[in-house]
Amino acid sequence: MLCQQIKKQIVAYFMGELSEETTRTVREHLNRCASCRAEFESFQHVWHELSQIRETAPSEQMTARFAVLLSGYEFGLHESRHTSPNGWLKTAWAKPALQLGFAVAMLFIGLFIGTIFNFVPTKLHYQQISRELDDMRELVMLSMLKQQSSADRLQAVNYSYEFDQPRDDIHHALQQTLENDPSTNVRLAALRALEPYAHDAAVRRKIVESFDGQRSPLVQIEIIDFIRQTETHAIDLLELLEQDENISEPVRQHIKWTIGTLRGETFIKENSDEKIQY
């Protein structure tokens, strides 16, 4: 046998899985070939070191992570059954969400292997991992917003709720989606996803400015409600929007109703502390 063939047989030879004739051939080759013998001895050493590692029961955190990964696998398996048998793998891997799932799985596998070799992650390590996961989620979200499928873009918008801290790139992407996405449902979802950023005056201004470019009365009405809930001078803004001659009658009526409601709320607030005189 050639050395290349012998090296492929080393593991099976060590485990005693070869026939008597093949075992004898490999043994004879190892006796006269220093290179193959060194590789075999290296394998023996590694196997010995691995055998010395004590088995430890998984922690509650590791069990919980495994449950999450298992749920992700079951979800991916369910999704794959809805694709064609010939192209399901290609279709699945083309989905950024499944690419993220694979990356996360690899990350936790790396942590698991680290615990086997007595690597104990510190708080700093976990913070770094959390940032890396957020970075991966952001990349996936931004990638999905460019997909042709409106369902994928809608799912990308929903991913924005998973971030604990607001991110500039995300709210900029949501603003672009609100202004330019061809799907009414996706634009509505983007507007609702921008609500956590409503404390930022620049974000609120962009949302108000997008009103004129909206083709759907549903989105315009949602923006009106957003203005009512977030703007201090909502009545002034709504009166300006009402002057637009291009808005549909249902939208104009909703503006009038909202202005009337706000004025009524203001009147009640201003007079709530006054006592009724009989």
Give domain limits for the chain: 3-32, 123-197, 211-277
Contact 208, 237 (CB under 8 A): yes
- Closest by CA to 190, choosing from 154, 166, 163, 226, is 154
Whether 193 shows a pLDDT value over 80: the answer reads yes
CA 262 from centre of chain: 38
The more confidently predicted of residues 143 and 71 is: 143
pLDDT for res 277: 42
Angle, CA of 269, 271 and 272, to the nearest 5°: 65
What ranges make up the beta strands (E) of the chain? none
pLDDT band at residue 264 using 50, 70 and 90 as cut-offs: confident
Alpha carbon distance 82, 88 (integer Å):
8
**Tens-digit pLDDT profile for residues 10-48:** 888 888 888 898 899 989 998 988 888 888 888 788 777
Sort 137 into a burial class: Cβ within 10 Å, 0-12 / 13-18 / 19+.
Answer: buried
Question: Which two tokens mark 221?
Answer: 């009405």
Whether 145 shows a pLDDT value over 80: the answer reads yes
**Tens-digit pLDDT profile for residues 92-120:** 444 555 555 555 555 555 555 555 444 44
